[in-house]
Amino acid sequence: MTTSEQFLVRAAARNNAEWCAAMSRSHGLTSTFGPGAWTAPGRTPLFYPDAVTLEPGTDPAEVAARIDTRTPGASVKDSFADLELGRAGFRVLFEAQWIRRPASAPAVASGLTAHVVAGPDALRAWALAWDDGDGNPDVFRPELLDDPATTVLVGRSAEGRVVAGAVASRSADVVGLSNVFAREGGPDAAWSFALTATHRLFPGLPVVGYEHGEDLTAAARHGFAPIGSLRVWLHQA
């Protein structure tokens, strides 16, 4: 990994940890940016880790000691794929790649006009479209809209239906994209919408995130390049 890639991975990991902290705060949960990692002492919202490492070489025993491994579901985002958490009772849930895209307009601009979600009703409609019937829209709570670094983006049809969306999380050096979706047109429509909206709002910032499998392939079609590996570990109760 080059020095530039190391910087970008650190920036992406920090950005992701700040987004996880914002989600946790929206659920009334506290968390801490401590030595080598962001950690939450209580169980975080569904789909979100209890720890994100911020530096390579972080002590795995220290990370595990700072989260609740007694309650089922504890997870750690190993941002540099260099932790050994098996001895602490964890198994690898999945592996992925941090990705980065330069600060430039997308090759294919979206035909949807992006709007910023600004109220609880609009967020609820966005969350229901994002969830697509899986039963988890309540993970997005109105308190999230109070976070100054978080922008929830929505694209609507001519009839006013939510047909695309994403979350943009701004930090010092990058903007992170997550929860990218489109109800029609698949991942290409989703990325086109998200990148068009993000470039309009944050034209000077590179975009980061993480993906794996077919989602990684789709992101690559839209100008992203992998910059480093990560692992997500799940505690085995």
Residue 1 pLDDT more than 70? no
pLDDT band at 3 (very low <50, low <70, confident <90, very high): low
- From residue 5, how far is each of 10, 80, 134, 203 by CA, in Å? 9, 12, 36, 21
Residue 80: per-residue pLDDT = 97
Residue 108: per-residue pLDDT = 87
Residue 6: per-residue pLDDT = 81
Q: Which pair of structure tokens corresponds to residue 29?
A: 């949960």
**Lowest-confidence pick of 1-10, 123-132, 157-166:** 1-10
SS3 annotation, 114-177: EEECCCHHHHHHHHHHHHCCCCCHHHCCHHHHHCCCEEEEEEECCCCCEEEEEEEEECCCCEEE
Residue 152: per-residue pLDDT = 98
Residue 161: per-residue pLDDT = 95
More confident residue, 130 or 7: 130
Share of the chain above pLDDT 90, in %: 95
Residue 237 pLDDT more than 80? no
Residue 176: per-residue pLDDT = 98
Residue 167 pLDDT more than 70? yes
Contact between 180 and 94 (Cβ < 8 Å): no
Residue 52: per-residue pLDDT = 98
Contact between 38 and 54 (Cβ < 8 Å): yes
pLDDT tens for each residue of 101-140: 999 999 889 999 999 999 999 999 999 999 999 999 999 9
pLDDT tens for each residue of 46-64: 999 999 999 999 999 999 9
**Across residues 162-184, what is the average pLDDT?**
96
Residue 169: per-residue pLDDT = 98
Write down the mean pLDDT value for the chain. 96
Under 8 Å CB-to-CB from 158, ≥6 apart: which residues? none
